[in-house]
Amino acid sequence: MSEKIDQFTDDLHVRLTEVDDRIRGFRASVDSAKAKGKADLQAKRDKARADFESRKREAEQAKARVKTMIEEKRAETAADVEAWKQGREVNKLERRARRAEDYATTQAWFALVAVEDAEYAMLDAVVTRIEADEAATG
């Protein structure tokens, strides 16, 4: 494998490990939700929301980049790519490869953000259920 492939797969592995770690943390939050008190859950929910909000601007920028990547991908045809290969137009092929790598790592990052949002939603659901139960019994 080339050094560029090694670097890409290493970077992607780091992203996927982040996603996996976050999913494990999310599972732990789900498992411990019943045992935690309302204040504890509210604090975790507020932190999860703050984490998500801090990534919001970055997510908007990433979304715009992905839109551009998709438009560029649609613009290139299989015939174009084959012509670049035959003509040894390495710059075009390199740009295409970088775009594909960027797209893959960006999608892995979106997976992380989705897990963070799901964690917030779960914590919010538990807190609001506690509040509803308190109102019904109080």
73-97 pLDDT per residue, tens: 888 888 888 999 999 999 999 999 9
What pLDDT, on a 0 to 100 scale, did the predictor assign at position 112? 86
What pLDDT, on a 0 to 100 scale, did the predictor assign at position 93? 92
What pLDDT, on a 0 to 100 scale, did the predictor assign at position 1? 59
What pLDDT, on a 0 to 100 scale, did the predictor assign at position 44? 86
What pLDDT, on a 0 to 100 scale, did the predictor assign at position 16? 87
Question: What is the rounded average pLDDT of the residues 106-118?
Answer: 88
Give the side-chain half-sphere CA count within 13 A for 120. Answer: 14
- For the stretch 81-103, what's the b/e string if a residue is b when 16 or more beta carbons lie within 10 angstroms of its beta carbon? eeebeeeeeeebeeebeebebeb
Alpha-carbon span 138 to 68, nearest angstrom: 54
4-49 pLDDT per residue, tens: 888 888 888 888 898 888 888 878 877 787 777 888 888 888 988 8
**pLDDT band with cut points at 50, 70 and 90 for residue 117:** confident
C-alpha gyration radius of the chain: 21
What pLDDT, on a 0 to 100 scale, did the predictor assign at position 90? 93
